[in-house]
Amino acid sequence: MSSLSGEERKIKKLLKAAELDIEADNLKEAGEKIHQAIQIAKNIGNEELLNQIMEFIQEFTYSIEPQSIELNPIETDGFILDIGGGGQGIIGKLNDKQVVAIDKSERELEETKNEALKVVMDATDLKFLPESFDTCTSFFSLMYIPRNKHLKVFEEVHRVLKDRGKFLIWDVKIPKRIGDYKAFMIHLRVRLPHDEIEAGYGVKWQKQNIEYFKELAKKTKFKIKNEWIKDEIFYLEMSKEE
């Protein structure tokens, strides 16, 4: 009979599933499973298991220091289009029924716990009429979209935003590829007004930074209204101005 506890067996199972996800290039799913394993190990205070998880991560992924961000509800009277709003559904947790969350993954949307309207949709082919939204958001989701599709996403967002509508982006700096690592990972602590969420985001390696997205904004005639950089994460607020 195995001497492992139920929590330890769950961690082993999560890591095995994460390894299969990595082999299949399902890095977002792998990141979530690894984060779950870390939380279980921390909760039971098992340092040995935690070290094993860290070794597992280091074998496949380049992981930066944990990052943190504090958010408040977005101030807008109209609807918010949230790109990649499945999974943790942070924007939906902030603004509830004001949010229309789109994601290519039906499963991701089904697992999201918030009051947003959830729609399976590709951000490069938005099925909305022009000037439908006051605000569009992308909370650590552009990093999951292939780089060669980013310009199309910006064009589509510009089309569906109303005049003076805002496009808000939170994302992470991903440097030029390091060594033979297959994936890039960020552990993020998100502080909301009435909650605190920890999440792991693992993606295929593709270089990006705030200047890259500012250049896309310029190409699509967005005007930069606000920006900040904190450690490895950044924020851009853009406005559609005809």
**What is d(CA 47, CA 115) in angstroms, rounded to the nearest whole number?**
37
pTM to 2 decimal places: 0.83
Sheet holding 233-240, edge to edge: 117-120, 99-103, 80-83, 133-139, 161-172, 233-240, 222-230
Domain ranges of the chain: 6-63, 67-173+208-240
Q: Rg for the chain (alpha carbons), in Å?
A: 19
Tell me what pLDDT residue 131 has: 97
Tell me what pLDDT residue 1 has: 38
Cβ–Cβ < 8 Å for 52, 59: no
| Local confidence pLDDT in tens for the 242 residues of the chain | 346 688 889 999 999 998 888 778 777 778 778 878 988 998 888 899 899 898 888 888 888 999 999 999 999 999 999 999 998 999 999 999 999 999 999 988 998 999 999 999 999 999 999 999 999 999 999 999 999 999 999 999 999 999 999 999 999 999 998 888 888 889 899 999 999 998 888 888 899 999 999 999 999 999 999 999 999 999 999 999 97
Q: 67-173+208-240: what fold?
A: Rossmann fold (3.40.50)
Find the length of the chain.
242
Helix, strand, or coil (residue 96): helix
CA distances from residue 66 to 59, 143, 216, 238 in whole angstroms, order as listed: 18, 17, 27, 27
